[in-house]
Structure 1
Amino acid sequence: MNDLISVPCVLMRGGTSKGPFFLASDLPADQAERDQILLSVMGSGHPLQIDGIGGGNPVTSKVAIIGPPTVPGADVDYLFAQVRVDQQMVDTSPNCGNMLAAVGPFSIEAGLVLARGATTVVRIHNVNTGKLIEAEVPTPDGRVAYLGDASIDGVPGKAAPIALTFMDAAGARTGKLFPTGQSLEYIDGIAVTCIDCAMPMVLFDAEAIGATGNETAAELNADKAALGRIEALRMEAGRRMGMGDVSDQVTPKPVLVSKSKGNGDINVRYFMPHQCHPSLATTGAVGIATACIAKNTVASRLTGVRAPPLVLSIEHPSGHLDVKLQERDGKIVAGILRTARRLFEGQVFAKPTKRLFCAA
């Protein structure tokens, strides 16, 4: 019991996030044991995660667990875990679309999916939400390609493009696009939209908490008064959305919306939920774009309601993110371009759990 546990691991960047990828078979089946391994691996409970491989920021304290599919029509299962930086807590209630960008490449290179032609479509079952997402992965010569000419704001340089298509993102957590039954309502006199599309979120105008919407992520993170107001709105939104006490959950995510400051359609500041995202979550972009095409939401009041097919450009602190919306079989399908990169592979070490676990 005094020896460290070694677990096979691949560190990958997916979109604007980064974290370790594991095969489900290499982790304990027991959830409590698994979470203890993840907390030790990431070094959670310290602001720098100094005793682990986490990066001291929510976008670099994420974990992907990949395994064989458990639903028809999928190629792999993907369980996302948001590992808290400052607390010993693992939250598997949300999805992460940025980490999702690396699931296809990882699955192919792990032998779970065979490369097929110049582009391999990997159908991913997100265990967190029960939804299916298609990932188009470049596989020239039967191998994953990471180098290319695509670029995304928030990541330096260029890489091979990975197209993600969210097949039916509405009601990912609560089963309803608008869980409260209203597209617009008021919390403490502030107009909000509670929406569940790829990610449960509460949207409200930046000016309602005394912001302009053009602040940097660092400026918002330093505004303790604003953070307090945002958390109060989030807590009440979670209760109204049927999610109960969300103080120990990372959803719903708060989103400040404002008029476009450049050539985009809307400007946003997305919270994770207690820090402002340096760019924008992919799942958040899907939900925000969907709110823009719905009637009477705080987003569509800024953009004007428009019908798909269309491309919406969402401005964020690092640039912009485009979401392609179209209708397929009576449902809204959202497409986003991302990139990914394999960073290192090997063994990661964790402190032993109460019951000794040895990875195969």
Structure 2
Amino acid sequence: MRGGTSRGPYFLRSDLPEDREKLAEVLLAVIGAGHPWNIDGLGGGTAVTCKVAMLSRSDDPSADVDYFFAQVVSAKREVDFSPSCGNILSGVGPAAIEMGLVEPGDGQTTVRIRAVNTGSLIEAEIQSPGGEVEYEGTTVIDGVPGTAAKIRLTFSEVVGSKSGRMFPTGACMEEIGGIPLTCIDVAMPMVVARASDFGLTGHETPAEIDGNRAFYERMEPIRVEAGRRMGFGDVSESVVPKFALLAPPRAGGTVTSRYFMPWDCHPSYAITGGICLATCVLAAGTIAETVVPQRFDGPAASIVIEHPSGHMEIVADFDVDGEQLGLRKIGTIRTARKLASGQVFVPAGIWN
């Protein structure tokens, strides 16, 4: 399925190995990881097309479906189970209905999802006229051609997704390697810095940034040190924390940003990354405050992120007590499309 601006296979968790190491080997074979084109699998040669969703009925009374996510690293033969993915999440509700995990309503179906990787709870509103998932519609999301049916995603319990704290280091802003930045953990742990501090405008295309290896050589040690300070240990082989650059907007948005996965630039923006960045904008004393001087007092705000493919709107329900931000719910609109169903074959030498 395409979920938001990402794509990948959606499995029943029960159809896959329980053992995490064996599961990783199976997913590497499914995607065809270890080759830049993923020629021997279903991957698309980019981070956004090498994602996997695994679904099961939830034993959590507040959820219908458990969503377990895996990021397969296209050319490195690595699988990272630590993050979640909000774009792939966009397809979880439709997939759960298609797989028989959730009984659809007539008109609209609300699927309550628990993100296993982070513990977040999400409500997905799926269009289901006549008790069937509707994929066609008039909603446009930047980064995907055409239009499709609207899927509303509302997140709760996203603060401290990995660390248990909004600001894992205890500081709203600090300095690493001479670069002022914010380490923040809301839906996705992130390191947020100003593009100008790296000699960039923040409006470069992903291809321009990816061609600038000097930027990555400077960014990666900062990200690794930030991961250590955030309590994640050695993150040199992990995609968490992600990295983002901020710049003033040019097209009517709240802020411009480039999001890194983390060793290449996202062609649009991750949903979890957008939620984290929007929270960084709302919170006082962060690096975002030096780029977005506007303050938001609640109880609701719309943060529009300008990204390489257009815009993403994040809507937050929150309150402010002095300098403390209380985030109740936060969400966005996405779309999804079912692309194929059937069997994918794994070599018996890997998993018989």
Tell me the TM-score normalised to structure 2 length. 0.96
Distance (Å, rounded) in 2 between the aligned partners of 1:246 and 1:353: 31
Whether the 8 Å CA contact 1:149–1:158 is kept in 2: the answer is yes
Whether the 8 Å CA contact 1:268–1:314 is kept in 2: the answer is yes
Distance (Å, rounded) in 2 between the aligned partners of 1:353 and 1:159: 40
Match of 1:157 in 2: 146
Cα deviation for residue 353 of structure 1 reads 4.5
Match of 1:337 in 2: 333
SS at match of 2:340: strand
Q: Is 2:57 the counterpart of 1:61?
A: no
Cα deviation for residue 103 of structure 1 reads 0.1
1:286 to 267, 275, 295: 275
Which whole-Å deviations, capped at 9, do the CAs of 1:49-79 have from their partners, x for residues lacking one? 1111100000000000001103221001000
Q: Is 2:34 the counterpart of 1:38?
A: no
Distance (Å, rounded) in 2 between the aligned partners of 1:28 and 1:347: 16
Q: Is 2:111 the counterpart of 1:122?
A: yes
Whether the 8 Å CA contact 2:31–2:40 is kept in 1: the answer is yes
1:307 to 297, 310, 318: 297
Match of 2:323 in 1: none
Q: Is 2:346 the counterpart of 1:350?
A: yes
Instruction: Give, as a single letter, the amino acid of the residue that structure 1 aligns with 2:297.
Output: A
Match of 1:215 in 2: 204
- Aligned ranges for residues 261-276 of structure 1 at < 5 Å? 261-276=250-265
Cα deviation for residue 300 of structure 1 reads 2.3
Whether the 8 Å CA contact 1:121–1:136 is kept in 2: the answer is yes
Which structure's relative contact order is higher, taking Cα pairs within 8 Å and 6+ residues apart?
1
* Count of residues paired in the alignment: 344
Distance (Å, rounded) in 2 between the aligned partners of 1:333 and 1:38: 33
Whether the 8 Å CA contact 1:267–1:314 is kept in 2: the answer is yes
Cα deviation for residue 178 of structure 1 reads 0.4
Distance (Å, rounded) in 2 between the aligned partners of 1:292 and 1:23: 37
Cα deviation for residue 146 of structure 1 reads 0.2
2:71 to 64, 82, 86: 82
Whether the 8 Å CA contact 1:146–1:160 is kept in 2: the answer is yes
Which whole-Å deviations, capped at 9, do the CAs of 1:201-230 have from their partners, x for residues lacking one? 000000111111010000000100001111
Whether the 8 Å CA contact 1:253–1:271 is kept in 2: the answer is yes
Runs (4 or more) in structure 1 with deviation over 3 Å come to: none
Cα deviation for residue 303 of structure 1 reads 1.5
Distance (Å, rounded) in 2 between the aligned partners of 1:124 and 1:186: 37
Whether the 8 Å CA contact 1:77–1:124 is kept in 2: the answer is yes
Identity %: 50
Cα deviation for residue 307 of structure 1 reads 2.2
Moved more, 171-180 or 345-354: 345-354
Distance (Å, rounded) in 1 between the aligned partners of 2:327 and 2:210: 37
SS at match of 2:134: coil
Which whole-Å deviations, capped at 9, do the CAs of 1:73-102 have from their partners, x for residues lacking one? 100100000001111211010010000000
Match of 2:313 in 1: 322
- Aligned ranges for residues 247-258 of structure 1 at < 5 Å? 247-258=236-247
Whether the 8 Å CA contact 2:119–2:157 is kept in 1: the answer is no
> 5+ residue gaps in structure 1?
1-11
Distance (Å, rounded) in 2 between the aligned partners of 1:307 and 1:234: 31
Distance (Å, rounded) in 2 between the aligned partners of 1:353 and 1:280: 37
Distance (Å, rounded) in 1 between the aligned partners of 2:313 and 2:160: 22
Which whole-Å deviations, capped at 9, do the CAs of 1:233-259 have from their partners, x for residues lacking one? 111110110001001110100101011
Distance (Å, rounded) in 2 between the aligned partners of 1:295 and 1:284: 18
Distance (Å, rounded) in 1 between the aligned partners of 2:242 and 2:118: 15
Whether the 8 Å CA contact 1:266–1:303 is kept in 2: the answer is yes
Match of 1:230 in 2: 219
> 5+ residue gaps in structure 2?
320-325
SS at match of 2:341: strand
Match of 1:188 in 2: 177
SS at match of 1:237: helix
CA RMSD of aligned residues (A): 1.1
Instruction: Give, as a single letter, the amino acid of the residue that structure 2 aligns with 1:122.
Output: V
